[in-house]
Amino acid sequence: MTTIRIDGRDCPTRSDINLLQACLEAGANLPYFCWHPELGSVGACRQCAIKQFSGPEDRKGRIVMACMTPVSENAIISIDDPEARDFRAGVIEWMMVNHPHDCPVCEEGSECHLQDMTVMTGHNTRRYRFTKRTHRNQDLGPFVKHEMNRCIACYRCVRFYRDYAGGDDLAAFASHDNVYFGRAEDGTLRNAFSGNLVEICPTGVFTDKPFSAVYTRKWDMRGAPSVCVHCAVGCNTIVNAREETLRRVLNRYNTDINRYVLCDRGRFGHGFINAPTRIRTPLRAIDGQQVPVPMADALTAFARMATQGRIVGIVSPRAALETCFSLHALVGPEHFSTGQTRQEQECTELAHTLLTRHPGALPTLHEMESADAVLVLGEDVCATAPRLGLSLRQSVRQASFHTADNAKVPRWMDAAVRTLGGECPSNLHILTPAPTDLDNVAAETFRAAPDDIARLGFAIAYAIDPFAPPVTDLTPDDAAHAARIAQALMAARKPLVVSGMQYGSPTLMQATASIAAALVRTIPAAGLSLVLPECNSMGLAMLGGLPLETVMEQARAGEISTLVVVENDLTRHLDLADVADLVAAVPNIVVIDHTMTPLCQHASLVLPIATFSESNGTLVNQEGRAQRFFQAVFPPAPIQAGWRWIQALARSLDPSMHPITGLIDWRDLDEALAALAMAFPDLAPAVMAAPEADYRINGEKLRSQTYRASGRTVIRSFVSVRDQPPPASPDTPFSSSMEGAYEPDMPGALVPYYQTPAWNSVQALNRFQSEIGGPMRGGPSGIRLLSPAENQNTEAQPYAYATDIPAPYIPQADTVLVLPDTRLFGSEELSMFSPPITARSSAPTLGLPASATGSGRMVLHLEDGPHDLPVEPVPGLPEGTVLCPTHMVARAFRFPRIARLEGLTDGGERP
Amino acid sequence: MTVASERPLTAMIDPAIGPPNCAAYERAGGWQAARLALGSLTPAEIIDRVTRSKLRGRGGAGFGTGQKWSFVPKEPASERRKYLIANADEMEPGTFKDRWLLEGNPLQLVEGMILAAYAVQAGHGIVFLRGEYQEACVRLHRAIGEARQQGWLGENILGSGFTFDIHVHSSAGRYICGEETALLTALEGRRATPRSKPPFPQTGGLWGAPSVVNNVETLCNLPHIIANGPEWFAGLGLGEDGGTKIYGVSGRVAKPGAWELPIGTPLRQIIEDHAGGMRPGYQLRALLPGGASTAFIDATALDVAMDYGSVEKAGSRLGTGMAIILDDRTCPIGMIRNLEHFFAKESCGWCTPCRDGLPWVERLLDAIEDGTGREEDMEQLDRHARMLGAPGRTFCAHAPGAMAPLASGLKLFAADFAAHIQQGRCPHHAGAGP
Amino acid sequence: MRAEILALAAQELHPRGASVAALRLVQAHFGWVSTAHLREVADLLGMSADDLDGVATYFNLLFRRPVGRHVIMLCDSVSCWIMGCEPLCAHLCQKLGIRPGETTADNAITLLPTVCIGHCDHAPAMLVDDTLHGDVTMESLDHLIDTLRNTP
């Protein structure tokens, strides 16, 4: 820490930052464009000009760009200096030379950083009297709209897209005042993080295309802090709603996880909520037809079913913790299934065990960014946990940071660091069966079958720690390879090993954990990270339950009369034949879900559940972080949270036959959580994921709309001009309107939108952070359940290495090993109900080793029958394997699996 | 050289014969310096001699050459990838000196590069040549090929253990590439926008490796400094600076051209003795002493010595030393408009003031020259000259360079501006005529 | 040409260092750089077409639109302006029936303004294809155009 003087005021500040950050952290209003906390400084826009004085005697000073000037001891600067003000006003005026005055019809309007900065500099009169240059716009695909005429050429878009996210199909073109940011030709942006352009762009060049169709001003929307449900990373989001419909999802800063960036699946996957597949009323099967019924009818029907025999409950890893727990309470532990196959469940439970046992660090995504050696085994993280992949992409910059440190170039001096680091070697090692998006920044990639990767992993562990079990029959090449990677990891200060359950391989995860544990012997900071598939996979692993196979056995034995399936499309887990068996064996199937999944057609009763945007609940991400999501939408009855449905079911039962206590008495979410904490002590801290519903600031609830919200009577004026009371929920400390408290140091878990005086865009976030890019002023959002500190106790005992090393993989002549091709757009369940994601996904293809000489199409014989698929060569794919898109070919396909592959005669032409 | 010439840079240039081949070059005294340096001098000794020679960069900025080299990390070329780059991207309007050297005696540049590379222990040489210089490109390739064949380039030159070779990069036209960091970016196959310093090229240049970028004329001086000694070279200058300088004059003078003269030669002597004075019927009104990005000086300042310090005292810069003459029958506003059109178009588009400020200036000048100027336009021009002209406000020196002729022109030609606006037309009519 | 481009790339520390050289090579053969060619070059250099086009559109001498059989690049910088390049340009435009930046209907000649070509002592100057012309006059222009029209 040091002190600088800003306009006569002494401000304590960090010493390793630049003057722009220092000014912003001191609460000053200093406009900027090209600088971004995550992208660093490049000095392009010249907007943050200030005066710097060489000492107390210096009256003249000199203009410097705050973002390009490091904080120095006792620096004296002025933001208010007339010359500096004048220059900043000039910069805005230059930007405005070509900027259209289309704010009233621009979708960035009301949350436009350029608007804010223009007001901040005081520029309000146009002096440029000549014509403006114009550009043609491009169609950039289903996610992002393009309006180049608004561009002020801050270069943030290309810096984010190319330098940060690794995309290569967005570029700067031409020069002078004709610079253009777009693609070489119209077409869909291919990078998985393209949607962030919407937030990165300081004005309306890139805007949210799906949002555009249901557009409304920021000030008219209700906001709620939320958590992404489209993978297990648990990125924090803000959901925006108006007129009780979800309009969009924005990034919500969580210093440990997603920070400033969401993947496109997370940003645009919410379309399932307003899709035609949405269930909005209870449905009852009457004479083979599912007809809408009132809630009371539905509950009566359920009560009747319950008298017929045993009720078994099935939840899913995409259901909230409270939903899972309430069903657990309704049916009891012996009749509670996690809704996963045995393999899936074993993998998630193994992940939990391995993480708990790991003696070193369980790094957050942010910590992964500073890992100086990374090994990824058998997981295409870019598809299964895209935001994690992006963090690993940043980790390869560590070497260039060290070079910059040596050259005394500050790390935030982005362009300079990239210049210096041009030749710095990557220390990212990727061992996967198929290519991944991270390959282009990897030091080396190695393609092999999952078992062979696991073997190599065990060999690496052995190379690090001779107490780990050796791998027999290792080829000399593999042994050398293992030694090389072991060396790279051991030379690091913060090595990290990553795997997951994409290939359904427990042995792969064990090998990974063994490497990480072996490293801890010499490097206590060695980290382990395991990727899980669903937003609450870890929560469910900690809750436990029966695998689906057990439910099938009970069903076939005629032991189940009613099956309550919550937020689970069993057709994605069970083969068609199994589903048919289940439907035949169980008289009553009750599906509680928000979306008409294929399973619903077999249901005797379908109950409409609230989505994440319409309810409040808790999810546990793959690193064991419990996080609360809050509702932005108050759905019309009877749509309600899962646990309330289950409570309603419980209340409908005859207490003499079903003596259920607790569940039926919960009044609000906090009571549900309290009960959960009692029943599952490991999950108890989840209660503290966010403040309870009675949390108040100065006696007030927290508002969820900006103070600028338009009068609510107007919205309904065509119905009635009488003021309607705003909806309320007993589960949250939020008021649903603009009434209530809102301040920059409110709890991090409860920030519903970012806005402070003079800052209406997402950049208002700066004011909510205790330091820019650092923690939230109001404390963290969410709580870790697997505390790394706890792990320190296990040091005394030697790590018990897994010993079941698999045999080498041997390609078969007549069959192939089918490996999952997990796709960012296509494999995940809910996002595929979202129209923009469906539009972005591509048709399934069958990936074959590049050497395989197949025809244009081939037939893959899976359990559910033959699949005729176009063939695509996949460089490096091991012999004897094929890549088949998950859930896109066989709906319930489980991996890995052996199958028969058949070529079509005559170049794929079928008779 | 065998006999130290008073005009060492151009002594061997004879357009009638064409550039010398290796043998002719050697006969005329070439390769002596390289032989001496590689045979018996250490890199440090070369840097020391060049520093003592008072050689300053001839590209326009005038930074001490020896000092520039001294920042390069000292590892031998064999241990670290380093680059020595000849800046032959001569694109400053009104400047045609490097072309003369490139076409007239490319081997001199090759030898200069060998010396510079040896001094900073760079194993890789690049000539960054502007794309339009086709003839220079052909001759340079021929010279490099021959030098390579004769063992002056390649592995272990003269058995010294020093390995160095030269690659010619033909650029594709962009004024900003003359700026050394933009030049490096261009060599990396990127959009050639300037880079921030630090890192300075000497420590983190091309592909992040230590790199030195020197102007062609600067490099061509080196063989003579090494062969004849720094004191001899320093003594060639008439004032503070050492050596000769290629001066040139274009515009309505009797004999436009370029001449190698002692650095510090008075401007009047260059214009009157060498360029033959003004053409009949034309008076000298003002001039840009060193290319388009230098400030106007008027006819009263012709006695200024053309060295770095003196021209600066006169309110301008030596720049490239190539003067552009404004005569009394040419419209000064038209001339400034032409200059600003150039600078606006050649802005790389990276920083706001330059990208969007220069076109504004250009349009204001268009309006004034076309007779639609307004009183308030002068305020805008003043404001731009002030805001774009001061250092540190724009990312690189492009906009300040562009403002040099404007700011000086606003003062010098205030009456002309006023006349344009008051009369609603250009008093010079079309501006330029035969 | 693919081999030549790969050879250029091999000379560089990273293939992208050859991007300008490769595009110039393509242009030398085809007169300009078409999108199809740009894509091919990008592939050879391991760059995206977008990336390479960002470079191509940055430089003045890389043509991303077709040009005529001959390209006249008339210097419009300061020395040539003083020496009367504007009337010359007007004369050319009138004679060719095109504006600067355009190509004649018979596809013979494209007229482009260019920045200083370092021939200021012989201003006004121009480049016709690869040949430098100095002290250009209306008469020499007329003669030149006739010659160009008659050469392939």
The model's pLDDT over A317-371, given as tens digits with 9 standing for 90+, comes to 999 999 999 999 999 999 999 999 999 999 999 999 999 999 999 999 999 999 9
List CB contacts of B45: < 8 A, sequence separation 6 or more: none
* Confidence class for position A422, pLDDT limits 50, 70, 90: confident
Q: Which residue of C has its CA nearest to B258?
A: C121
Distance from CA of B358 to the nearest CA of A (A): 9
> Could you tell me if residue C65 is inside a domain?
no
**Interchain pair B347, A177: CB under 8 A:** yes
Question: Is cis: bond before B199, omega within 30 of 0?
Answer: yes
C-alpha A447, offset from chain centre:
27
Distance CA A395, CA A409 (A): 18
Q: Which CATH architecture has domain B22-236?
A: 3-Layer(aba) Sandwich (3.40)
Q: What do you get for the CA distance between the two ends of chain C, in Å?
A: 22
Across residues A237-256, what is the average pLDDT? Answer: 97
DSSP 8-state symbol, A149: G
* A610 close to A642: Cβ distance less than 8 angstroms: yes
Across residues B354-376, what is the average pLDDT? Answer: 97
Q: Using a CB-CB distance cutoff of 8 angstroms, which residues of chain A are in contact with residue C50? A: 168-171, 183-184
Across residues A643-655, what is the average pLDDT? Answer: 95
Number of domains in chain C: 2
Residues C92 and C40 reside in one and the same domain = no
Q: What is the pLDDT of residues A74-97, one digit of tens each?
A: 999 999 999 999 999 999 999 999
- Strand (E) or helix (H) holding B213: strand B211-215
Residues C85 and C141 reside in one and the same domain = yes
List CB contacts of A268: < 8 A, sequence separation 6 or more: A142, A143, A195, A210, A249, A831, A834, A836, A837, A840
Give the residue from C16, C33, C57 with the most A CB atoms within 10 Å of its CB, the best one to mutate: C57
Across residues A304-313, what is the average pLDDT? Answer: 95
* B401 close to B393: Cβ distance less than 8 angstroms: no
Confidence check: pLDDT of A794 > 90: no
Q: What is the pLDDT of residues A199-210, one digit of tens each?
A: 999 999 999 999
Fold assignment, B332-423:
de novo design (two linked rop proteins) (1.20.1440)
* B73 close to B151: Cβ distance less than 8 angstroms: no
> What is the dihedral sign for C-alpha A220, A223, A229, A235?
positive
Q: Using a CB-CB distance cutoff of 8 angstroms, which residues of chain A are in contact with residue C37? A: none
The lowest-confidence range among A372-386, A726-740, A868-882, B418-432 is B418-432
Identify the pLDDT of residue A906: 44
Across residues A862-883, what is the average pLDDT? Answer: 93
Q: Which residue of B has its CA nearest to C126?
A: B132
CA separation, residue A206 to residues A156, A166, A201, A665 (Å): 11, 18, 6, 49
Structure tokens at A143: 């996610």
Confidence check: pLDDT of B431 > 50: no
**Interchain pair A172, C54: CB under 8 A:** yes
Q: Which residue of C has its CA nearest to A162?
A: C51
Q: What is the pLDDT of residues B68-80, one digit of tens each?
A: 999 999 999 999 9
Distance from CA of C50 to the nearest CA of A (A): 5
- Strand (E) or helix (H) holding C88: helix C85-96
**Interchain pair B188, C14: CB under 8 A:** yes
Q: List the beta bridge partners of residue B326.
A: B286
SS3 for C11?
helix
Question: What's the mean per-residue pLDDT of chain A?
Answer: 94
C35 contact B CB<8A: no
Q: Which residue of C has its CA nearest to A172?
A: C54
Distance from CA of A74 to the nearest CA of C (A): 43
Structure tokens at A802: 């897994």
Q: Which of C12, C34, C58 is the last residue of a domain?
A: C58
Distance CA C15, CA A628 (A): 49
Across residues A629-651, what is the average pLDDT? Answer: 97
Distance CA A509, CA A504 (A): 9
List CB contacts of C61: < 8 A, sequence separation 6 or more: B131, B132, B171, B172, B173, C24
Residues C138 and C113 reside in one and the same domain = yes
Nearest by CB: B172 against C62, C82, C114: C62
* Confidence class for position B5, pLDDT limits 50, 70, 90: confident
Identify the pLDDT of residue A788: 61
* A32 close to A45: Cβ distance less than 8 angstroms: yes
Residues C47 and C77 reside in one and the same domain = no
Identify the pLDDT of residue A792: 54
Q: Which residue of A has its CA nearest to C50?
A: A184
- What phi and psi values does residue C128 have, to the nearest 5 degrees? -115, 115
Across residues B61-73, what is the average pLDDT? Answer: 94
Give the residue from A135, A168, A424 with the most C CB atoms within 10 Å of its CB, the best one to mutate: A168
> Could you tell me if residue C64 is inside a domain?
no
Across residues A721-744, what is the average pLDDT? Answer: 91
Q: What is the pLDDT of residues A1-44, one digit of tens each?
A: 999 999 999 999 999 999 999 999 999 999 999 999 999 999 99
Tokens 């004769």 belong to residue: B150
pTM of the model: 0.96
Which of A37-51, A722-736, A848-862 tops mean pLDDT?
A37-51
C36 contact A CB<8A: no
Residues C24 and C75 reside in one and the same domain = no
* A599 close to A569: Cβ distance less than 8 angstroms: yes
Nearest by CB: B433 against C16, C84, C115: C84
Provide the pairing of β-strand B284-288 with B297-298. antiparallel
Across residues A511-522, what is the average pLDDT? Answer: 96
Residues C35 and C95 reside in one and the same domain = no
Distance from CA of A422 to the nearest CA of C (A): 10
Q: What do you get for the CA distance between the two ends of chain A, in Å?
A: 77
> Could you tell me if residue C63 is inside a domain?
no
With a cut of 70, list the residues of chain C below it in pLDDT.
none
Distance from CA of A68 to the nearest CA of B (A): 9
Distance CA B1, CA B25 (A): 10
Q: Using a CB-CB distance cutoff of 8 angstroms, which residues of chain A are in contact with residue C43? A: none
Class of domain B244-327: alpha beta
Provide the pairing of β-strand A336-337 with A311-314. parallel
% residues pLDDT > 90 (chain A): 90
Structure tokens at B127: 């000539």
% residues pLDDT > 90 (chain B): 94
Q: What is the pLDDT of residues A543-591, one digit of tens each?
A: 999 999 999 999 999 999 999 999 999 999 999 899 999 999 999 999 9
C118 contact B CB<8A: yes
Residues C78 and C28 reside in one and the same domain = no
User: Domain coordinates of chain B in residue numbers?
Assistant: 22-236, 244-327, 332-423
Q: What is the pLDDT of residues B378-411, one digit of tens each?
A: 999 999 999 999 989 999 999 999 999 999 999 9
Distance from CA of B370 to the nearest CA of C (A): 14
**Interchain pair A174, C58: CB under 8 A:** yes
Distance CA A13, CA A31 (A): 19
Nearest to A399 by CA among B208, B46, B75, B222: B208
Distance CA B151, CA C146 (A): 48
Q: What is the pLDDT of residues A431-484, one digit of tens each?
A: 999 999 999 999 999 999 999 999 999 999 999 999 999 999 899 999 999 999
Work out the burial of residue B356: count CB atoms within 10 Å of its CB; fewer than 13 is exposed, 13-18 middle, 19 or more buried.
buried
Count CA within 13 A, CB hemisphere, residue B244. Answer: 22
Give the residue from C47, C121, C122, C130 with the most B CB atoms within 10 Å of its CB, the best one to mutate: C121
Q: In what order do the strands lie in the sheet with C109-114?
A: C109-114, C70-75, C126-128, C131-133
* Confidence class for position A850, pLDDT limits 50, 70, 90: confident
- Strand (E) or helix (H) holding A903: strand A897-903
Structure tokens at C51: 């990336």
Identify the pLDDT of residue A51: 97
Enter the ipTM: 0.96
Q: Using a CB-CB distance cutoff of 8 angstroms, which residues of chain C are in contact with residue A157? A: none
CA separation, residue A220 to residues A54, A223, A240, A479, A705 (Å): 48, 10, 9, 62, 7
* B298 close to B415: Cβ distance less than 8 angstroms: no
Residues C45 and C78 reside in one and the same domain = no
Distance CA A182, CA A621 (A): 35
Residues C79 and C144 reside in one and the same domain = yes
Q: Which residue of A has its CA nearest to C59?
A: A174
Nearest by CB: C24 against B172, B191, B432: B172
**Interchain pair A185, C51: CB under 8 A:** no
Residues C94 and C125 reside in one and the same domain = yes
Q: What is the pLDDT of residues B198-246, one digit of tens each?
A: 999 999 999 999 999 999 999 999 999 999 999 999 999 998 899 999 9
C101 contact B CB<8A: no
Distance from CA of A170 to the nearest CA of C (A): 6
**Interchain pair A175, C47: CB under 8 A:** no
CATH code of the domain containing C112: 3.40.30.10
Identify the pLDDT of residue A478: 94
Across residues A892-899, what is the average pLDDT? Answer: 81
Confidence check: pLDDT of A907 > 50: no
**Interchain pair B325, C82: CB under 8 A:** yes
Confidence check: pLDDT of B12 > 70: yes
Residues C95 and C46 reside in one and the same domain = no
> Could you tell me if residue C38 is inside a domain?
yes
The lowest-confidence range among A321-330, B5-14, B109-118 is B5-14
Helix ranges, B292-351 (H): 308-313, 332-346
Q: Using a CB-CB distance cutoff of 8 angstroms, which residues of chain A are in contact with residue B198? A: 407-409, 413, 416
* Confidence class for position B434, pLDDT limits 50, 70, 90: very low
Across residues A241-252, what is the average pLDDT? Answer: 96
Structure tokens at B224: 């003579």
Distance from CA of B378 to the nearest CA of A (A): 12
3-state secondary structure A620-638: ECCCCEEEEECCCCCCCCC
Question: What is the extent of the structural domain holding C138?
Answer: 70-149
> Could you tell me if residue C107 is inside a domain?
yes
C48 contact A CB<8A: yes
- What phi and psi values does residue B404 have, to the nearest 5 degrees? -60, -55
SS3 for A236?
strand
CATH code of the domain containing C10: 1.10.10
Q: List the beta bridge partners of residue C132.
A: C127
Residues C54 and C83 reside in one and the same domain = no
